Structure 1
């Protein structure tokens, strides 16, 4: 995975990334801890975002997160804006649009459905991308396994977890997954065109500008309340700045396939964060559905890795 774009490293099932590092040497336990810590930070940041949504709305939270993250990254990276071709700027703008769409749709989703199911549905985007690019018969097995998890999600009518999901919230989660797949493509291209994390910082600025009007319309002056601003910065640190840093450090010593498999655990981390922070209960059927999607993601990654090795 390109170390030039830390957030793009969260693109768990990017086939190009898997191909690049398939032959890397086994890593030690330390980088694995960093990746898991990054996942915990992201999902608990999302749980914190849910807590402040009643005051700002989902669009307001997205604006606070992206604006704060963009400000931090721009200050740290100080990216150059000269010397790039029109195609370079087109790529970084597309990356920013995908970033804004992925975050905006995801936060609209967790405003309506529990965190665990939302992340489970979102993961389907990168999973489908990996299956399509793989073009192997075994990939259909992993796709079927993921669909079984989704079927459990749709068919479980009782309980507080997957049962009785708000259809609009589920649709937003699936839309976020589609934007995640687009994000994977453009983040890799941005990483090849811009040095260090410059492309990420510029794309984050584009995403912040795109989200600002929606946030202002929905939240208005609530965005300027000191306590809300402080919580928004907390969400940005937990969901963006801290995990990007941890992942960047981990990926210097961790093979991309291992990283991708660890990223597949995020639905389980999200369900745990929802239970501990938001009191979102999870039944045995909910856990099984999450496990099926995680297994499908891991299987798709391993299949892609074997193909790259061959």
Structure 2
């Protein structure tokens, strides 16, 4: 079995494809959990819901992974703490953005974070076309519009920064640990940061609400974050940064199939653009990974001379 911390955790051609599967699974978890959690916003509040969801997820992950607190370097602990902070901030800032902005606008603003990660990681200018295409697709799917709210925009941009940090730090924490134990500690750290809000909100949750919180925390945090973590390990933050454009695609498809919400032609075009960007990213990542692997295993004297 290959550990999560190994430098070549998956075959260079299958790794990006498996990363897409993880991102899609995480997206479905996030969408389903959001539907469950949103019913509690009026009584518990967005920050309270975020904190309680993370507390549930932390408990589940701690039981499953049983992480050790010993033998970790200062760098590893710094990464774990930063990752937990990014998780907590991403959740709180996005939910507050949704409170002030249309959902599509908030989703588009948040996607600027992983888009920046994808753009900064390119080695050739031509590769910038893919994250840009994904952004255009997200805009068409989400349909940003409505009256601009400065406070909401600031929340959305803050969520973008947190989402970008979340994408990058998944790679760092994954490299410093041998499994999901680092993720479990990061989620626990995020839950601790939100603990004051969780404690204040807990008395307002009834029995049915606790059931929804448990399902939301397991689906949208424990499982979704674990899949995102694995996706970055299987490929790279740059690849996953582009693949995160699948989130609004999944949301649109779930709305159309499960809730009977129609898909406008412009949204269908957006889905096709995101799908193209994701497929091209996976193909390029597999091609580059295969070439690097071949260079690693090919003996120096077998390589053609420069003369």
TM-score of Structure 1 vs Structure 2, range by shorter chain: 0.7 to 0.9
Q: Larger relative contact order (C-alpha < 8 A, sep ≥ 6)?
A: 1
Q: Is 1:270 aligned with 2:270?
A: no
- Residues 143 and 255 of structure 1: is their aligned pair in 2 closer, same or farther, counting only changes over 3 Å? closer
Unaligned runs of 5+ in 2: 292-307
Instruction: Tell me which residue corresponds to 1:210.
Output: 193
Q: How many residues align?
A: 285
- Residues 32 and 193 of structure 1: is their aligned pair in 2 closer, same or farther, counting only changes over 3 Å? closer
CA distance in structure 2 between the partners assigned to 1:299 and 1:99 by the alignment? 28
Unaligned runs of 5+ in 1: 6-15, 154-159
| Worse overlay, 278-287 or 44-53 | 278-287
Instruction: Tell me which residue corresponds to 2:182.
Output: 199
- Residues 304 and 178 of structure 1: is their aligned pair in 2 closer, same or farther, counting only changes over 3 Å? farther
Instruction: Tell me which residue corresponds to 2:81.
Output: 93
Instruction: Tell me which residue corresponds to 1:229.
Output: 210
Q: Is 1:184 aligned with 2:167?
A: yes
Q: Over aligned residue pairs, what C-alpha RMSD do you find?
A: 4.0
The alignment's TM-score, normalised by the length of structure 2, stands at 0.73
Q: Is 1:57 aligned with 2:45?
A: yes
Match of 2:146 among 156, 164, 167: 164
Q: Deviations over 1:5-25 (max 9, x none)?
A: 9xxxxxxxxxx99x8656245
Instruction: Tell me which residue corresponds to 1:84.
Output: 72
SS in structure 2 of the partner of residue 162 of structure 1: coil
CA distance in structure 2 between the partners assigned to 1:88 and 1:285 by the alignment? 45
Q: CA deviation at 1:281?
A: 6.5
| Worse overlay, 274-283 or 94-103 | 274-283
- Residues 300 and 242 of structure 1: is their aligned pair in 2 closer, same or farther, counting only changes over 3 Å? closer
